[in-house]
Amino acid sequence: MSKEYFNLLFVKVQNSLHYVTKNYREIIAAEERLVITCRYMASEESFNSLALIFKMGKITVAEIVHDTCRVLWYILEDEHLPTPKKETWLSAADIFENRWNFPNCFGCIDGKHIRKKCPANILLLAVADADRRLLTVDTRSLGRQNDGGNFRTLNLFRLLETGKLYVAECKPLLFTGLTVPFVLLGDEGYH
Alpha helices in the chain (DSSP H): 3-13, 30-42, 47-54, 58-80, 86-100, 147-151, 155-162
Predicted confidence (pLDDT) per residue in 99-135, tens digit? 988 888 888 888 777 766 655 667 778 888 888 888 8
For range 69-76, the mean pLDDT:
88
- Per the model's pLDDT, the better-predicted residue between 84 and 47 turns out to be 47
* CA separation for the pair 154, 157 (Å, rounded): 6
Predicted confidence (pLDDT) per residue in 134-170, tens digit? 888 877 655 555 555 667 777 777 777 787 776 767 7
Predicted confidence (pLDDT) per residue in 73-95, tens digit? 888 888 887 778 888 888 898 99
pLDDT value of position 61:
92
User: Among 152, 154, 149, 153, which Cα is nearest to 137's?
Assistant: 154
Are 144 and 156 spatial neighbours (Cβ–Cβ below 8 Å)? no
**Cis ω on the peptide bond leading into residue 172 (within 30° of 0)?**
no
pTM, full prediction: 0.66
